[in-house]
Amino acid sequence: MLNVFIALGIGLALGGVIGWLLAARRSATSAAPADSQPLIEELRSRSAASEAELADTRTQLTAAKTQCATAEAEREAARQLLEQQRTLHEQALREARVSQTKA
């Protein structure tokens, strides 16, 4: 029976020490954010700068896509115009050959 009381006393003492250590650790961790405020502000500043750079890059990408689409449309229009001119030239050549053979 005495062994049970000794084990219970040792358990309570160890529990008290562990609880005290955990409480001291938590209070030290809660004090750390006040010390790290400059670091937090720097990270926020960097994050804002990154977001601004990302927005600028997205704007540039949108402009580049617009320019690319415009260039492709102009190329297609030029191709169609070339095809029409080629058809007209071939037709004019045939007509010139026909009129030349008649003459």
12-41 pLDDT, tens per residue?
Answer: 898 888 988 888 887 766 655 667 888 889
pLDDT score at 35: 74
DSSP code string of 33-91: HHHTHHHHHHHHHHHHHHHHHHHHHHHHHHHHHHHHHHHHHHHHHHHHHHHHHHHHHHH
pLDDT band at 9 (very low <50, low <70, confident <90, very high): confident
**43-85 pLDDT, tens digit each:** 999 999 999 999 999 999 999 999 999 999 999 999 999 999 9
